Chain A
Amino acid sequence: MKKYSGVPVSAGIGMGKAFVYKENAYKDPGKSDNGENEQSRYRAAAETFGKECILNAGKIKESAGEDAAKILFSHASVVSDPYSVSNAEKLIGGGMSPEEAAKKVWGDWKAALLDSPDPLTKERAADADDILKGILTALSGQSEEDIPDGCVLVCREFTPSLAAKSEKNAAVVAEKGSSTSHGAILAAGMGIPCVMGVDIGGIEDGDEIICDGNTGEVVISPGDGERKKYEELKNEYEKSREDVKKYAFMTAESGNGHKISVMCNAGNPADIERCISSGGDGVGLFRTEFLFSEREYPPDEDEQYSVYRDAASALCGRELVIRTLDTGGDKKIPYYSYPREDNPFLGLRGIRYCIKKPEILRIQIRAILRAALFGDVRIMLPMVTAEDEIIKVRNLVAGCRRELRREGVKVPENVPVGIMIETPAAALTAKELSRHCDFFSIGTNDLTQYIMAADRGNAEVRELYDTMSPAVLRAVEMTFTAAKEAGIPCHVCGEAAADEELLSFLTELGVDAVSVSPARIAQTKKVLFLKP
């Protein structure tokens, strides 16, 4: 028996025989001697792939919805675009093989999309790889293997094309991808349990495999005991799933009638949509790093404004907590400079970085203030350790507001400013910090890591990394006490907030809101409802 642990991206438990999807080994014939013939080979392959996409789009529309189908329709339209066809033909005419030409044309296309300042255009870059793979397969003359019903699909990347053939899979295990990738959205839309970020090298065709999309655990060749345990979990989950759905759009309360908002964590505009459709009471953590990453220059004020504004108006008055850029540590942005640090996690990260580079923060704050007219928008600062940091940012916010007013731009009277409690210092001095804050939000991931001095990703100290340990719980309690004394709300964001044990601890402390991933909203509300 082998066990892997990956990122759970689509809930549910699936078990069955592994079907390892092999990407075709392409024979590259090298220099082409028959230009015209080779050009028509490319054209035919593009046409075959385009037709297949349209066919699959029809299929996928039923199971995964309109948006998923749109991805495949747009594949079909770009492969038949005169630009891609004529570019490929030109390259082949110059002596390239159709395979090489396809790689060049679609590689360039990916680069062009990534270069766009528009976030939605940039998001499409992932599609370029899927298209290239499809054309190369069509060129090789092999048709895609059929995926047997009821298997657990094991693949490097769960692409839209693979998804179209996966309706009857028990589960999907993928090496690449995260909860924001197209594949993850598709799997969740189709209701197939899925875990990503798993090293699939050791998995063979026909291996018995269990995929737990709730926890991220993947078990290969389980023993009898293990199998039985998961069969029970699976039955339980499936029974409760129908039951859970009815809780999604209800308002959760703790025993004494205190309302608890169940909000969601969002890393991009698609997550905002998911939050709304899954019954989220707002967005408790809107990470803004996606606006800055995978590009060559920072987003300007207007670009940021349009993203924040769209999110605020989509939420129709529900809370939107925007976290200012959280960079440094392991999250670096290519066009910004960072000092050399021996220990980046104890270095210039979060608000510390932005205070050193106030221009980045100024642009972001101006964009948020402008967008705040469109909903209940709040500003949240990451990685705060000292009072002085909040005072500096507050002064900057006041300055931005004056500036905008002078320019004749409308800005709401009061946009709340709060902080993440994720360092031991912030928890220990929560009382002092609360004087400068409109709210607190406890980030359980980093708080646990810093309190326990244990890296979450380090298997050697994984046992120490425990959000339920007395040290972490005491820090959480101190934060709540300070918030209560100051009369400000205290939220908890981080996946741990969905944990039943922690939830019951938090309700006792009088938590006002928790923020979890969209997939966990209904379950979290159910737990809050059924609490004695």
Chain B
Amino acid sequence: MVKKEFKIKNRQGIHMRPANEFASAMGEFTCEVTVVCGDNEINGKSLMNMIAAGIRGGSTVEVVCDGEDEEKALEKAGELINSGFGEI
């Protein structure tokens, strides 16, 4: 299992478009992807769960990947979040 903390950089947080981008990218990996935000454990492969969690810009999340391709998945997750999903 690997994990890392990230800060959500785009101001509007995880709304429809970023959530879709993140969930579809994570869907490519076989490992489990969990996004921890406060007390909330979110399935990183679920568009709905990502949106329903209402992750705001500026908040800190921890991405936890567990499974065969966990390293690659965490790397991709970081890339997406740090790019601000093209919104910064």
A residues sitting closer than 8 Å to B (CB atoms) are 77-78, 81-84, 108-109, 112-113, 115-118, 120-121, 124, 300, 302-303
Contact = CB atoms under 8 A, between A and B. Distances in A.
B80 interface: no
A305 to B, nearest CB: 11
B22 to A, nearest CB: 13
A118 B14 CA distance: 9
Contact of B52 (A112, A120, A300): A112
Given A77-B47, A78-B47, A120-B17, A83 B12 contact: no
Contacts of A121: 15-17, 51
Nearest to B23: A81
Contact of A112 (B43, B54, B56): B54
Given A112-B54, A115-B54, A116-B54, A81 B12 contact: no
A120 B45 contact: no
Contacts of B13: 117
Contact of A118 (B12, B45, B47): B12
B48 A84 contact: yes
Chain B interface residue bracket vs A: 10 to 19
A118 B49 CA distance: 16
B48 A81 contact: yes
B11 interface: yes
B82 interface: no
A109 B47 contact: no
B60 interface: no
A340 to B, nearest CB: 33
Given A77-B47, A78-B47, A83 B52 contact: yes
Interface in B15-49: 15-17, 43, 45-49
B48 A116 contact: no
12 contacts: A78-B47, A81-B49, A82-B45, A83-B43, A83-B48, A109-B52, A112-B54, A116-B51, A118-B12, A121-B15, A303-B11, A303-B12
Contacts of B48: 78, 81, 83-84, 109
Nearest to B46: A83
B24 to A, nearest CB: 10
A46 B81 CA distance: 32
Contact of A113 (B11, B17, B46, B51): B51
A121 B16 CA distance: 5
Contact of A81 (B11, B16, B47, B56): B47
Contacts of A118: 12, 15-17
A303 B12 CA distance: 8
A117 B47 contact: no
Nearest to B53: A112
B51 A112 contact: yes
Given A81-B46, A116-B15, 19 more contacts: A77-B47, A78-B48, A81-B47, A81-B49, A82-B46, A83-B43, A83-B46, A83-B48, A109-B48, A112-B52, A115-B54, A116-B51, A117-B12, A117-B15, A117-B56, A118-B12, A120-B15, A121-B51, A303-B11
Contacts of A112: 51-52, 54
Nearest to B88: A302
Contacts of B51: 112-113, 116, 121
Nearest to B87: A306
A82 B11 contact: no
Contacts of A82: 43, 45-46, 49
Contacts of B56: 117
B77 to A, nearest CB: 18
A81 B44 CA distance: 12
Contacts of B49: 81-83
